[in-house]
Chains A and B, each alone.
Chain A
Amino acid sequence: MIISVCIVLGSLIIIFGIVTFNGASYISIEMVTQTPNPNDALRGGILNSIIGSMLLALPATGLAFLIGLGIALYLQKDFTPSWFSGFIRFTLDVLWGIPSIVYGIFCFTIMLYFGLGGSILAGIFALTLLEIPIITRYIDEAIKMVPKGLKEGAYSLGSTKFETSMKVIRKQAFPGILSGILLGLGRGIGDTASILFTTKATNRIPTSLLDSTDTLPTTIYHSYQLPTGQPKAYAAAFILLVIVLCISILSRILSKKFTKHVIK
């Protein structure tokens, strides 16, 4: 047991330590309040990347959630025979396993077809595709765990399938659904490969869906390649880690808050 704790907790501490230590010279308040210096990309802040990451990951997660919720509800026994839902679940698992760079080139191809360049829109599209299987499977599992007796109870009060899904099952499955959403968000905000192809790097804060944008992962990637860019890369990694950590903590707190009604 001690060994497993050491491996898990140790890796987290070491990663955090290295990132903080190497990025220390760059981490400052300006970093999160300013855009990069136009003359020297290694000076100034990375506000544009932080905003870019949010602008991609938040709408993508929202979209993936809406689509995923629909699919997950449809997969339940009350709506779909199990041989078919089993097939869709398998497909989702395959999609989950597809490397994100494949999503990236896929979206890139589609963009070229429509004559679009790297843009926020394309990035959102890629991330949504990436997140759909994750969020759907999480919601699906959460709904599957809803006890049969609870559904029967709701049905026997004369509620329709739709009412039962929206008012009873949703409430019971909510903590699980929330974990799925936040996990999808965490994955989306940190994913690099799918975005490398679909958004073009820039130092500006984007103002429209068709603008190009920088994100935290692409900033890390591009800065690290510059001879003196490593502190900036580590600093961006630090911010990214803090965001992901906040999402995890938030998901824990919210799940706890909403489990008080959950029937065991």
Chain B
Amino acid sequence: MAINSNIHIETKNLNVSYHEHHVLKNVNIKIPTNQITAIIGPSGCGKTTLLKSFNRLLEIADEVKISGEVLVDGKNILECKGYEIPDIRKKMGLLSQKPYPLPMSIYENVAYGLKIHNNVSEDKLDETIEHCLKEAGLWDEVKKRLDDPATRLSVGQQQRLCLARAIAVKPEVLLCDEPTSALDPTAAQQIEKLLLKLKQEYTVVLVTHTLRQAKRLADYVVFIYFGEIVEQGPAKEVFKNPKDPRTKAYMEGDIS
């Protein structure tokens, strides 16, 4: 299990349960900096739960129990106090399965994060928003209708808008929870291209249940099955020579 670059996120004996349901069992993983790490596995095996434990979004749900450690840049974020949570989350941009733009205009969607963190002075706001929309490959399509409600965009455009607003707050990590599953193939391809470009600046964690997508994008792979980490390692190794029979079975489509 060799990782050639720095570790950005690491979990140690992470256990998560909702009510009485034990979702993640003793999860120990390492996520390298500035690479795309794909978390793969069948539906309902805890991929999203694992992803949301990285920015403490799990705690929005009722009766969730979390134990163990989640280290981001070496610091255990589970020990952080309530008032520190927004800062942890700010470091992690989120792309969800279905894009949820904020109920405001396209412009305001990107400006929201900038305004709440006072990141940018008023006169630089327009410039920054343009930059973020360009990064997300959306600028040319929306530059003439920035004041339109975000709901008027297509789903694919909404997903890129969510990417733009995430980038605006200068995160270190992009957490992507099956970001292309609601999109048509063209829009999905655009997102994939963007992720490949963005990994130079951000650590990308991609939850996906399409193996082909993981093969196209991932540098590093974590295979999770019923809440347990079965295998993890550089993508090429895992895909070529899976060590665990369960990984092999999953790759060959015997389990899904």
A interface residues with partner B (beta carbon < 8 Å): 77-78, 81-82, 147-160, 163, 167-168, 171-172, 260-264
Q: Which of B62-94 contact A (CB under 8 A)?
A: 62, 86-87, 89-90, 92-94
User: Assuming A157-B166, A261-B149, A263-B151, is B103 touching A77 (CB within 8 A)?
Assistant: no
**Contacting chain A: which of B110-118, B124-132, B236-244?**
B110-118
Given contacts A149-B97, A260-B149, A263-B103, 13 further A-B contacts (CB under 8 A): A77-B61, A149-B100, A150-B100, A152-B52, A152-B94, A153-B96, A154-B112, A156-B57, A156-B175, A158-B87, A171-B102, A263-B101, A263-B151
Q: Which 7 A-B pairs have the closest CB atoms?
A: A158-B90, A156-B94, A157-B113, A149-B100, A261-B103, A172-B103, A171-B103
What are 14 contact pairs spanning A and B, CB under 8 A?
A148-B60, A149-B96, A152-B52, A152-B100, A154-B102, A154-B112, A155-B57, A157-B89, A157-B112, A158-B169, A159-B113, A167-B116, A168-B112, A261-B103
| B160 adjacent to chain A (CB < 8 Å) | no
CA distance A37 to B100 in the complex (A): 61
Minimum CB–CB distance for A175 against chain B, Å: 10
| B55 adjacent to chain A (CB < 8 Å) | yes
What residue in chain B is nearest A147 (Cβ atoms)? B100
Q: How many A-B residue pairs have CB under 8 A?
A: 91
- Inter-subunit contact B162/A153 (CB<8 Å): yes
CA distance A159 to B102 in the complex (A): 12
What residue in chain B is nearest A263 (Cβ atoms)? B103
Minimum CB–CB distance for A157 against chain B, Å: 4
B-side contacts of A262, CB under 8 Å: 103, 151
B-side contacts of A168, CB under 8 Å: 102-103, 112
- Inter-subunit contact B151/A260 (CB<8 Å): yes
| B146 adjacent to chain A (CB < 8 Å) | no
What residue in chain B is nearest A151 (Cβ atoms)? B60
A-side contacts of B150, CB under 8 Å: 261, 263
| B165 adjacent to chain A (CB < 8 Å) | yes
CB within 8 A of A153: which of B61, B87, B102?
B102
CA distance A155 to B151 in the complex (A): 19
Minimum CB–CB distance for B9 against chain A, Å: 15
CA distance A171 to B150 in the complex (A): 13
| B209 adjacent to chain A (CB < 8 Å) | no
B-side contacts of A152, CB under 8 Å: 52, 57, 60, 94, 96, 100
What residue in chain A is nearest B57 (Cβ atoms)? A152
Minimum CB–CB distance for B103 against chain A, Å: 4
- Inter-subunit contact B86/A159 (CB<8 Å): yes
What residue in chain B is nearest A260 (Cβ atoms)? B149
- Inter-subunit contact B94/A77 (CB<8 Å): no
Minimum CB–CB distance for B143 against chain A, Å: 20
CA distance A156 to B86 in the complex (A): 8
CA distance A261 to B108 in the complex (A): 11
What residue in chain B is nearest A170 (Cβ atoms)? B103
A-side contacts of B62, CB under 8 Å: 77, 81-82
CA distance A234 to B87 in the complex (A): 62
- Inter-subunit contact A157/B169 (CB<8 Å): yes
A-side contacts of B101, CB under 8 Å: 153, 263
CA distance A81 to B104 in the complex (A): 29
A-side contacts of B102, CB under 8 Å: 150, 153-154, 168, 171, 263
